[in-house]
């Protein structure tokens, strides 16, 4: 706890005369926003801004879950696998005679179990998070691949609430955006105002010190992975609402790296203990503006990926300069 | 008495003499040779991924042929991983099957390996997705014609009296895929024939419904008077459909795509997510390919690569009026 406060103190001091990554990213986002508003027709319309937010709702939600884990000096590469397989499992259950609501609940239990296994591997077996989650992602996706013959599973027709979260509006704002905002707010409050939230920061900042001083670091780590799995599942349900089905092939896409991009871009250091939901939001908005602008300008997919990757690389380099690794922060198992 | 004996003897004699003759008459001409030619032969299929509806249809049909006529049929699924695909291909060359069926991820990747397989004396059938290396046979879509059909459909709709505009969108899959390259050529031909038609966006959706939804949502903001969208796979274009439905423009925007003709496409048409699906009827493609396979197996004396044949399968235009019956198959019907 002491070190967290010291860190906060340090960053506050630094902020006074040195630019933070969050600040840089916010500035880039603002500049891009202004440039696109001037250069691109119909960029600055209510409809386009809402479309922009709706298009990053899934990414943003996954990034909130990822950020929550990264703050605790972890990384969760299982998120996309858990998302697609969890929802595909629920849809499959609904074709086996279960009601869709029941199927969703059973899926949630399965997903929580996946998170639990990942958490135990990391907290108890002490497998470094990057390897544990990389392997678990393969296991989860592989299991799904064996169980479901098709990549694309369609949700049963006529589920009103599913259609509503996908294409509904509340007070003129897409429901999907509101759900994203709600999840982000919950995690932000949780991190900031609960004792558990402070434990997450403490564990992320210095796991050994946290454990020595009597914090329940193992349960904390396990809970983090369960929560991130459930957030991924929530994002999957949202996705199913948006396009009326789930494509398990998403596991093979660059989505998980895009999620990491958002987290790191926003300024959550991979060495843990720093940052929060606000950083994720900043990263999400920047990626949203970028993708929206590039789509309007009709950039090819390859060049879109290239530009995104260059930005990730720059963010990582910047992160390394701002938050240099030292004796205290770099330890074995550190990613 | 004597007469009776003679009569019985004569009867027996005639029976003994005529039975084999009668058996020969019941024998269907060429059946024994056919069974002989197919029995114990080995056919290996290297798909893109078995997760797609078209692949499931093909293998259901080929497995039926293999079980009925006693040849060995194996699927080696690289699950969309091109490196694994190359390894599978190298492995197959080592195994020396009688026939190799390949679905190419793009025009280049397998080109060399296919040449090697051909030199090793293996007859190769390419299914639906071509490589620049031409082998013994290609059975699949006339993709240029497919591009012409879809773009032609949009030209008819969007250049008609009272069309919302002359603006159309091309939602590609992966730009290096053979199908994409050829469909684009077909689209370009139609654009050249109808210079008033305006292509406002050509972004690849990577065969992903959510990506298709995002692009469509952004493009609809830019071009609220959009007239039509053409795509490459019904399972991806449901995302475009979802965006159009969410914008309440299903009466304004015509969505044309193509697909294997699975029931899910008919469901999407019924739900108003898609307007027209050019159905290339994967089960019929598989039957045509099965004819080609049996021809290879019946003529082992013809060396691999000595004859190069191409056959384009049927394409049926399916819309709300005929989205029934054989235009909408399920896997269980094919087994």
- The stretches in chain A having pLDDT less than 70 are 1-19, 319, 323, 325-335
Is residue B44 very low, low, confident or very high in pLDDT (cuts 50, 70, 90)? Answer: very high
Q: What is the mean pLDDT of residues B244-269?
A: 93
Specify the 3-state DSSP secondary structure of A206: coil
List of residues 6+ apart from B298 with CB closer than 8 A: B33, B34, B37, B38
Quote the minimal CA–CA distance from B20 to chain A in Å. Answer: 49
Instruction: Provide, as residue numbers in chain B, all residues whose Cβ is less than 8 Å from the Cβ of A249.
Output: 49, 51, 80, 207-208
Q: What are phi and psi of A157, to 5 degrees?
A: -75, 155
Q: Where are the domains of chain A?
A: 21-322
Instruction: Note which residues in 2-31 of chain B have CB less than 8 A from chain A.
Output: none
Buried b (16+ CB within 10 A) or exposed e, B306-319: eeeeeebbebeebe
Q: Given 1.10.357, 3.30.70, 1.10.405, 1.10.3470, which CATH number is that of A21-322?
A: 1.10.3470
Provide the mean pLDDT of chain A.
85
Residue B316 touches partner A, C-beta closer than 8 Å: no
Residues in B closer than 8 angstroms to A244, CB to CB, are 238, 242, 271, 273
Whether residue A151 and residue B51 make contact (CB cut-off 8 A), yes or no, is: yes
**Contact criterion met (CB < 8 Å) for A298 and B215:** no
pLDDT (0 to 100) of residue A104: 93
Contact between chains at A55 and B214 (C-beta distance less than 8 A) = yes
Distance, CA of B239 to CA of B244 (rounded, Å):
9
Q: Would the ipTM clear 0.95, i.e. be above it?
A: no
Residue range B89-135, pLDDT digits in tens: 999 999 999 999 999 988 889 999 999 999 999 999 999 999 999 99
State how far the Cα of B183 lies from the Cα of A129, in Å rounded to an integer: 44
Angle, helix A79-95 to helix A255-266, in steps of 10 degrees? 130
pLDDT at A332: 42
B199 close contact with A: CB closer than 8 A: no
Cβ of B238 under 8 Å from any chain A Cβ? yes
CB atoms closer than 10 angstroms to residue B65: 20
What's the pLDDT band for B333 if we cut at 50, 70, 90? confident
CA dist., res. A69 & res. A323, Å (int): 18
Separation CA B172–CA B231 (nearest Å): 6
pLDDT tier for residue B1 given thresholds of 50, 70 and 90:
low
Q: For residue A54, list chain B residues with Cβ-Cβ distance below 8 A.
A: 217
Average pLDDT over residues B262-285: 93
Q: Is B214 on the interface with A (CB under 8 A)?
A: yes
Q: Which residue of A has its CA nearest to B174?
A: A301
Would you tell me which residues 62-121 of chain B have a C-beta closer than 8 angstroms to some C-beta of chain A?
79-81
B124 CB near a chain A CB, below 8 Å? no
For the segment B134-158, the average pLDDT, to the nearest whole number, is 95
CA distance B41 to B46: 17
Q: Would you say residue B322 has pLDDT above 80?
A: yes
Chain A: residue whose CA lies nearest to B169: A298
The reported pLDDT for the residue numbered B27 is: 85
Contact state of B217 with A51 under an 8 Å Cβ cutoff: yes
Q: Does B245 touch chain A (CB under 8 A)?
A: yes
Task: Give the closest residue to B170 by CA, choosing from B211, B203, B219, B213.
Answer: B203
Tell me, yes or no, if B242 comes closer than 8 A to chain A by beta carbon: yes
Chain mean position to CA A248: 18
Of B52, B219, B238, the CB nearest to A245: B238
What pLDDT does A8 receive? Answer: 52
Q: What is the least distance, in Å, from the CA of B21 to any CA of chain A? A: 50
CB atoms B209 and A291 under 8 Å: no
Report the residue of chain A nearest B267, measured CA to CA: A157
pLDDT score recorded for residue B283:
94
Q: What is the DSSP string of A89-123?
A: HHHHHHHTT--HHHHHHHHHHHHHHHHHHHHHHHH
- Contacting B with CB below 8 Å, chain A residues are 41-42, 45, 47-48, 51-52, 54-55, 58, 145, 149-152, 154, 157, 166-167, 239, 242-245, 247-250, 252-253, 291-292, 295-296, 298, 300-302
- The answer to whether the CB atoms of A244 and B217 lie below 8 A apart is no
Mean per-residue pLDDT over chain B, rounded: 90
Cα→Cα distances B60→A19, A74, B56, B141, Å: 61, 44, 6, 19
Give whole-number Cα distances, B258 to A64, A186, A261, B160, B318, in Å.
Answer: 37, 43, 34, 22, 9
Contacts of A291 in chain B (CB under 8 A): 214
């Amino acid at each position: 706890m002491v070190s967290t406060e010291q860190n906060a103190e340090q960053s506050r001091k630094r902020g006074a005369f040195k630019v933070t990554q969050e600040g840089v990213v916010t500035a880039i986002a603002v500049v891009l926003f202004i440039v696109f508003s001037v250069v691109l027709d119909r960029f600055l319309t209510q409809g386009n801004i809402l479309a922009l937010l709706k298009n990053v709702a899934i990414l943003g939600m996954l990034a909130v879950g990822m950020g929550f884990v990264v703050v605790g000096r972890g990384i969760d590469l299982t998120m996309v696998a858990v998302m697609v397989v969890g929802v595909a499992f629920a849809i499959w259950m609904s074709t086996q005679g279960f009601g869709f609501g029941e199927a969703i609940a059973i899926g949630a239990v399965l997903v929580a179990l996946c998170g639990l296994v990942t958490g135990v591997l990391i907290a108890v077996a002490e497998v470094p998070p990057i390897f544990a989650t990389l392997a678990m992602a393969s296991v989860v996706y592989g299991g799904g691949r064996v169980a479901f013959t098709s990549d694309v599973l369609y949700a049963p027709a006529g589920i009103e609430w599913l259609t509503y979260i996908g294409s509904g509006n509340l007070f003129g704002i897409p429901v999907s955006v509101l759900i994203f905002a709600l999840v982000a707010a919950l995690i932000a409050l949780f991190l900031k105002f609960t004792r558990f939230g402070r434990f997450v920061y403490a564990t992320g900042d210095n796991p050994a010190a946290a454990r020595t001083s009597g914090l329940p670091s193992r349960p904390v780590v396990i809970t983090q992975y369960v929560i991130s799995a459930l957030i991924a599942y929530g994002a999957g349900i949202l996705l199913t609402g948006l396009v009326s089905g789930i494509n398990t092939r998403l596991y093979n896409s660059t989505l998980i790296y895009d999620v990491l991009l958002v987290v790191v871009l926003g300024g959550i250091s991979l060495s843990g203990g720093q940052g929060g939901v606000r950083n994720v939001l900043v990263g999400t908005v920047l990626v949203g503006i970028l993708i929206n602008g590039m789509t309007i300008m009709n950039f090819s997919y390859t060049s879109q990926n290239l530009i995104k990757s260059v930005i990730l690389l720059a963010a990582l380099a910047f992160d390394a300069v701002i938050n240099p690794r030292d004796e205290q922060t770099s330890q074995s198992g550190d990613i | 008495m004597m007469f009776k004996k003679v009569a019985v003897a004569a009867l027996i004699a005639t029976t003994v003499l005529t039975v084999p003759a009668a058996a020969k008459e019941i024998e269907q001409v060429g059946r024994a040779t056919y069974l002989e030619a197919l029995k114990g032969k080995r056919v290996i299929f290297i798909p893109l991924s078995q997760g797609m509806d078209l692949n499931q249809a093909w293998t259901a049909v080929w497995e039926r042929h293999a079980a009925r006529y006693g040849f060995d049929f194996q699927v080696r699924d690289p699950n969309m991983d091109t490196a694994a695909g190359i390894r599978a291909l190298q492995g197959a060359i080592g195994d020396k099957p009688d026939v190799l069926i390949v679905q190419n991820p793009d025009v280049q990747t397998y080109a060399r390996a296919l040449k090697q397989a051909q030199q090793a004396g293996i007859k190769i059938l390419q299914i639906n997705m071509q490589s620049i290396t031409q082998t013994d046979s290609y059975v699949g879509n006339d993709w240029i014609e497919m591009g012409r059909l879809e773009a032609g459909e949009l030209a008819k709709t969007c250049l008609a009296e009272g069309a919302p505009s002359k603006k159309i969108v091309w939602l590609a899959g992966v730009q290096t895929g053979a199908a994409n390259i050829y469909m684009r050529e077909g689209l370009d031909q139609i654009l050249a024939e109808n210079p008033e038609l305006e292509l406002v966006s050509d972004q690849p959706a990577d065969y992903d419904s959510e990506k298709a939804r995002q692009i469509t949502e952004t493009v609809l903001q830019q071009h609220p008077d959009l007239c039509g969208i053409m795509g490459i796979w019904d399972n991806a274009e449901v995302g475009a459909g979802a965006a159009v439905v969410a914008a309440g423009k299903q009466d304004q925007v015509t969505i044309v795509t193509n697909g294997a003709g699975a029931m899910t496409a008919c469901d999407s048409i019924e739900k108003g997510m898609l307007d027209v699906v050019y159905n290339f009827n994967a089960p019929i493609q598989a039957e045509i390919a099965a004819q080609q396979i049996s021809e290879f197996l019946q003529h082992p004396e013809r060396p691999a690569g000595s004859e190069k044949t191409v056959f384009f399968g049927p394409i049926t235009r399916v819309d709300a009026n005929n989205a029934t019956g054989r235009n909408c198959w399920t896997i269980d019907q094919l087994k």
